[in-house]
């Protein structure tokens, strides 16, 4: 016997409740998004991932690991790789020390100063890197503008060697890569709420404490983005170290070019490229972990 139901009520149905139509629409929208991303994914795979895979496979000469073993164990190439990473670190640090105050000025100045500053930062992009490097060779040469000015004013007795050494390479690379540090910092600094700084000062914090404990932690995402851009670009730089270094500042990009153009050793050049890429990724991950941890701590 079935239990009697109260009058005027329908018996409860044993069929499962229907799912809301919204969930079906969400699944349909997610599927459409996935299909919309297929062309972009295929584009990245063909133009980026496939060349990297070919480069990696090409390093296995005759099916052996000799090229990679040489790139990772030979003292000459390991030393050049370490010098390359060190030069990139120097360039990133100098760009940060110069770019942070510049970005702060552009983000906080009033009137037309931010527009004028951004125009001057964008102007170098309209000139080739090769032309700018030759310009620095003229400026920093033994008979260049800087040496002539210092000699004529009696500051120095003999010309200063500023090219064909590390100094010239750093000056040229910082000049080229400085905007890549300023723009991320400027974008982050523009989003910092001034009320937070006013609140910190109202609570008794000095300007240094406000900067150290409030402003700088808020701008760490810009520091991470700018340092990453400058570092990655510095590691693979070729034109400026080749011309301003004069072959006396060895970098891995120069070795790769020499293996291809002079020795026609594509396998070893591919191995050097893969090792350089791997080292860059490792340094990037370390930098990201350190700065992300610092941001979370703050």
Which residues, given as ranges, of the chain have pLDDT below 70?
1-33, 291-298
Whole-number pLDDT of residue 47:
80
Rounded Cα distance, 254 and 81, in Å: 11
pLDDT, residue 247, reads 80
- 66-297: what fold? MetI-like fold (1.10.3720)
- What is the reported pLDDT for 250? 86
Spans of all domains in the chain:
66-297
DSSP class per residue in 158-219: S----SSSHHHHHHHHHHHHHHHHHHHHHHHHTTS-HHHHHHHHHTT--HHHHIIIIIHHHT
Amino acid 290: pLDDT: 74
pLDDT at position 31, please? 58
Question: pTM of the full predicted structure?
Answer: 0.80
């Amino acid at each position: 016997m079935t239990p009697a139901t109260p009058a005027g009520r329908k018996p409860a149905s044993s069929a499962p409740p229907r799912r809301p139509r919204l969930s079906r629409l969400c699944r349909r929208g997610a599927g459409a998004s996935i299909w919309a991303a297929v062309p972009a994914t295929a584009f990245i795979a063909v133009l980026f991932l496939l060349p990297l895979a070919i480069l990696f496979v090409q390093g296995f000469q005759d099916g052996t690991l000799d090229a990679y073993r040489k790139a990772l164990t030979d003292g000459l190439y390991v030393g050049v790789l370490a010098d390359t990473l060190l030069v990139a670190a120097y360039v990133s640090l100098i760009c940060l020390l110069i770019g942070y105050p510049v970005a702060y000025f552009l983000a906080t100045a009033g009137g037309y100063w931010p527009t004028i500053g951004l125009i001057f930062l964008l102007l170098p992009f309209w000139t080739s890197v090769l032309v700018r490097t030759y310009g620095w060779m003229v400026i920093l040469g033994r008979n260049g503008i800087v040496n002539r000015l210092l000699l004529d004013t009696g500051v120095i007795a003999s010309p200063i060697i500023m090219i064909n050494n590390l100094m010239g390479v750093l000056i040229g690379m910082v000049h080229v890569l400085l905007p890549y540090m300023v723009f991320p910092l400027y974008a982050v600094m523009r989003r910092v709420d001034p009320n937070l700084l006013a609140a910190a000062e109202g609570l008794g914090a000095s300007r240094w404490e406000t900067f150290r404990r409030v402003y700088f932690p808020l701008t760490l995402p810009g520091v991470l983005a700018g340092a990453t851009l400058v570092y990655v670009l510095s590691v693979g730089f070729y034109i400026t170290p080749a011309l301003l270094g004069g072959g006396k500042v060895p970098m891995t990009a120069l070795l790769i070019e020499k293996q291809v153009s002079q020795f026609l050793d594509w396998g070893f050049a591919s191995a050097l490229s893969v090792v350089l890429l791997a080292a860059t990724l490792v340094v990037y991950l370390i930098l990201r972990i350190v700065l992300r941890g610092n941001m979370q701590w703050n």
